[in-house]
Structure 1
């Protein structure tokens, strides 16, 4: 399965184990690398810069020949630790960085000085062309089947549109749960895929057994889009608690969002409340089950080690 992505990252299969807030960890990425795919962790999964540095060092020392690991950076003002996180990752020389929610210009410029590749999340052609002009090494094309914060275009539409107008590799994010899905994305023109939700129900994942089991028990038809986490549409499992609280912003939030001066603060407050609820549901037993996942959990039928999940994706 040689593609531009396997060449870029020196991996056997064109798959990135997607960075997932609260879920991804060092053990998952180690297993991913030893299975011939790349792994990525959100920098925000670490509370301190020292913890981030330790994780990068551990992955670097465990990296097999032909392995690749990276970190995801939120590159807008909401992440007050962005610049210091970038500095740590450059010093520790991870293989790649995935940028989200902001301009990747500084990340690209700094990372390239250390030989680190930068892939950028995009949901449309306009932003894809911007990051390509800034020097991005590849595009993460986030489509409407992605878990968490997703795009609005179908995988086929988005990939083909980017392929026609961009000259850097396209990595499709969303809607991949089996080998047939990977083949489809490559056929549309992608050089690889970013796969997240199937790895939530892995033995190594840093979430509760209840969260993992939910990914087994629920399927694609149980995924709904909610505005109650960050103020931006986000996919979650439609648990009884989600049904109880609803998926739309409150009338007060909608009203305040119309005020240009207050809009930013309302979103920041909603984001803080939503992330805290998500963290509690993922890491401790609670009736407030707000579990983020995408429709590709349809293919999750058991809690398995990462190596077995990878086998299912490439078999």
Structure 2
């Protein structure tokens, strides 16, 4: 982990002490990848900083492996950092004990998801665990094949859906894409090769549309941020398997997308009007209004497909 991030941690009040304890607890320890163990809690903490979580969560991210891997007692963490951080560390440790031993039916898997949320008591525990899982997936190749498959299946069936329920769909997609090649290697290679030229062409077109749309919105005095996104490979693969798609990528209308971010609900509907004024809606798809009908996790937006 780079020195710049270590310096950032030192500047976050309450994290310097946690960093020093984690560093001491993991001194001399190596991960199976060969890197220093401390790099893992640092990577987890960096994700939590990027997600703008509170100081307690970041400190718990630094300390999350000290009990199980570093011989630090929960009592010591509670004494040094307080009950809140100790509870977060304990929650992450307990969730880590839940293993998906074999492929089960959906009802069983759903019960595991619910069990994780109940055991967590605090959704910050789940977020720390998601960051932990994300970084561990990046070095999954060094583990035995049996563990690779189990961890990947847990990711696809438990942790990725949890990320979606928490409203962090981008993390869901990243988790799925990291697990995908370990469970479905041939399918992963096929969809990656098949989609590459389509993504390249679509990305070029998207950059042009983004520039044009920013000008149109500015002309209507709508201040907006526009972000681009490409459909994640595992999500694309699942969609290609649908009978109505029949593995034809040309039938997929959301391979790439623009996210137009505005400050108010009124501006959101106004932006939709601008988009439909200058781009033709795809008639067979229509508009999905998640403002008037939010998703269960609170997600609100308007989806439209244009060409």
**Largest Rg, 1 or 2:** 2
Higher helix share: 2
TM-score, with structure 2 as normaliser: 0.29
Structure with more relative contact order (C-alpha pairs < 8 Å, separation 6 or more): 1
